[in-house]
Structure 1
Amino acid sequence: MQTGFRLNWTPIKEPLGFIKVVQWLTAVFAFASCGGYAGQNVISLSCDRSINATLSAAFSYPFRLNQVLLVEGNITLCNHTLTETRLLGDFSSSAEFFVAVAVLAFLYCTAALLVYLGYMHVYQDSDFGPMCDFVVTAMFAFLWLVCSSAWARGLQMIKFATGTEGIRATLEPCRSSSLRCEVTEFASMCTLDISVVFGYLNLIVWACNAWFVYKETRWHSRKLSSHQGVGRGRGPGPSTAPI
């Protein structure tokens, strides 16, 4: 069996290769929309119906909000003293897990496409290639389910921590009736919402691709041959003629 590189674009025209290209693109959009995010919310502090001060909360990937300073030093406002305060929560684990799965999926798709386009003759003539491809594809489908769910939950908590309710929970003086704290300028989180959508889209694409990869394995061929053997073994039943 020759194992040299043979460039062949035919696999891209088939579901096995075409879906791999789709996976490559969706993985890129997933980690790009999450890993490159940066935003800032502006909080207005007011008493006596007039804005007396503003605070800014700038946050970005990997969303370690407990390291973001909300109040630097001490501020006295409306007979309330605001000490040095940071935002609530550390959501780096879910964000980094999501991006890590996306980057690994991107790298695997790149390697798989290289095999499909240049070494498809080796891939189809061996049992190891298709079975390994199927196991890795199924594993990534499961990882996309876990990381997308974790990141969706983490994003929900980020929105709360940087919103009005979260800021009021962070700054104790804001809970009093004399000092009003409200987020007046919100950072757009559309790209983060899109990242969650691409996470679940990857789940669907990888789960569908698992079926096409499974068809290349000997598990599927054995099952198919056994069904065909059973079909050929069934002869016509005994006929009974009326007496």
Structure 2
Amino acid sequence: MTGFRFNLIPIKEPLFFIKLVEWLTAIFAFGSCINFSAENIVSVFCGDGKNQTLPAKFHYPFRLSQSPLIDHNATLCDRVVNTTYLTGDSSSSVHFFVGVGVFCFLYCMFAGLVYLGYMHIYKNSDLGPILDMVITVVVVFLWLVCSSAWAKGLQNIKDAVDSEGIAATVALCQEQNITCQVTEFATVRGLNMSVVFGYINTFVWALNCWFVYKETRWYSQKNFSQPGPTRHPTVI
């Protein structure tokens, strides 16, 4: 009763199918940001007509305060500018987001193994479905929180590397007759998609709560306790 019994029947059930969907959406969520690297091109317009450019590089895990914008005391507009770093640090929010995604990725594989090899134990025990239900509810909450945190962190990144953020970071850009403007924007489509998939994961895991709940004793006891239709004797 406790051994591994490989069975493909659960593949046809929603419980397994939705775990496969969760596994894929988790990959898309954290995979869209962990290898991300890009740069905006900042044009510095000097008052004497000279133009110079700076690369505003940003990459995972987005510790912008450690990303140099001006390095090695460069000369800009005939002025020596000290080493200057971008402003902000979104590493905590993106690490939280990626951590939840990796956990869900691993848990879906573990749950899929249980469904395919130990479904006879899963369905005949109270602990398995209840534990699955509790984890699913907790994951819904975690996806909602980490997606919201990462969405805010991503917005902070965008603000830090746009024209206003660069101008506020570089003291030279605040002088008269000197303008700093981002003239080439890197695409952040992958980061935007990571946030979208974060909220998709929230929805999918919330939907999964129903299918896991149907496997628990709470659902079976509720259906068992419901009275059947009352039949009245026929009067002749």
Residue 59 of structure 2 is matched in structure 1 by: 60
SS in 1 for 2:57: strand
Aligned-partner residue type, residue 157 of structure 1: N
2-structure distance, mates of 1:82, 1:236: 94
Q: How far is 1:3 from its partner?
A: 1.5
> How is 1:211-222 mapped onto 2 (pairs within 5 angstroms)?
211-222=210-221
Q: How far is 1:48 from its partner?
A: 3.6
SS in 2 for 1:34: coil
Aligned-partner residue type, residue 137 of structure 2: A
Contact 2:18/2:204 (CA < 8 Å) preserved in 1? Answer: yes
- Post-superposition Cα deviations, 1:171-212, rounded to whole Å, max 9, x if no partner, equal 122123311101112211000000001000000000000110
SS in 1 for 2:33: helix
Residue 122 of structure 2 is matched in structure 1 by: 123
2-structure distance, mates of 1:87, 1:104: 31
2-structure distance, mates of 1:47, 1:83: 17
2-structure distance, mates of 1:220, 1:163: 53
Residue 19 of structure 1 is matched in structure 2 by: 18
Contact 1:144/1:199 (CA < 8 Å) preserved in 2? Answer: yes
> How is 1:199-210 mapped onto 2 (pairs within 5 angstroms)?
199-210=198-209
Change (3 A) 1:69 1:222: same
Aligned-partner residue type, residue 61 of structure 1: Y
Residue 150 of structure 1 is matched in structure 2 by: 149
% same residue: 56
Matched, 1:182 2:204: no
Matched, 1:9 2:5: no
Hey, which bits of structure 1, 4+ residues long, moved more than 4 A?
A: 234-237
Residue 114 of structure 1 is matched in structure 2 by: 113
TM-score with structure 2 setting the length: 0.94
Residue 159 of structure 2 is matched in structure 1 by: 160
2-structure distance, mates of 1:25, 1:144: 15
Aligned-partner residue type, residue 82 of structure 2: T
Once the two structures are overlaid, the 10-residue window that deviates more, 70-79 or 165-174, is 70-79
RMSD across aligned positions (CA): 1.8
Q: Which runs of 5+ in 1 are unaligned?
A: none
Contact 1:88/1:161 (CA < 8 Å) preserved in 2? Answer: yes
Once the two structures are overlaid, the 10-residue window that deviates more, 145-154 or 176-185, is 176-185
1-structure distance, mates of 2:199, 2:74: 44
Aligned-partner residue type, residue 28 of structure 1: I
Residue 133 of structure 1 is matched in structure 2 by: 132
2-structure distance, mates of 1:140, 1:134: 10
- Post-superposition Cα deviations, 1:33-65, rounded to whole Å, max 9, x if no partner, equal 011111111111112474432111221111000
2-structure distance, mates of 1:171, 1:12: 57
SS in 1 for 2:32: helix
Once the two structures are overlaid, the 10-residue window that deviates more, 212-221 or 168-177, is 168-177
Q: How far is 1:236 from its partner?
A: 5.0
TM-score with structure 1 setting the length: 0.91
2-structure distance, mates of 1:208, 1:53: 53
Contact 2:50/2:77 (CA < 8 Å) preserved in 1? Answer: no
Once the two structures are overlaid, the 10-residue window that deviates more, 191-200 or 175-184, is 175-184
